[in-house]
Amino acid sequence: MTIEWRYRIEQDLGILSVAGHLGPDAAHRFIGAVGWVLARGTGPVLVDLTELRGWSTEGRLAVAEAARRLAAAGRPMELAAIPADGSLVPGDDDPAVPVHCDLAAALAARTSRGKAAEGRQEWRTGGWPA
């Protein structure tokens, strides 16, 4: 089983939405999506897991690796709607990753920090749910 992903930019915020199950077979696809994000944006990244049905240990490790790669590029990462079957526990050297209960809460927190989202670009895999 694999994942589908969609990446959009709203002003300086990149939103990477992931659907499916982030298991061992999909971790490389997720890392590829993060490479896409790195190539097409410059600001913070919000990883929206609302449509993710679950994740394995390998999936959680891929998300932690994404946080490290993004931080190395000067792009902080936040998570929205992590699956109920696990949590992301950063290692001692990993960047802090704020977690929001859902996408609306993540965007509201950003707006309350004075970062309104305007303008939009979007890319997605062919199987992204309509």
DSSP label at residue 3: E
Report pLDDT for 4.
95
pLDDT digits (tens, 9 = 90+) for 82-115: 887 666 666 667 788 889 999 999 888 877 655 5
64's CB contacts (< 8 A; 6+ apart) are: 88, 90, 91, 94
Q: With cut-offs at 50, 70 and 90, classify the pLDDT of residue 117.
A: very low
Closest of 55, 29, 24, 25 to residue 16, by C-alpha: 29
pLDDT digits (tens, 9 = 90+) for 71-89: 999 999 999 998 876 666 6
pTM strictly above 0.95: no
DSSP label at residue 96: P
Task: For CA atoms 15, 3, 51, 72, give the dihedral sign.
Answer: negative
CATH architecture of the domain 3-119 equals 2-Layer Sandwich (3.30)
DSSP label at residue 121: E
The Cα-based distances of 12 to 8, 16, 114 in angstroms read 10, 13, 12
CA 68 centroid distance within chain:
12
Distance CA 15, CA 109 (A): 14
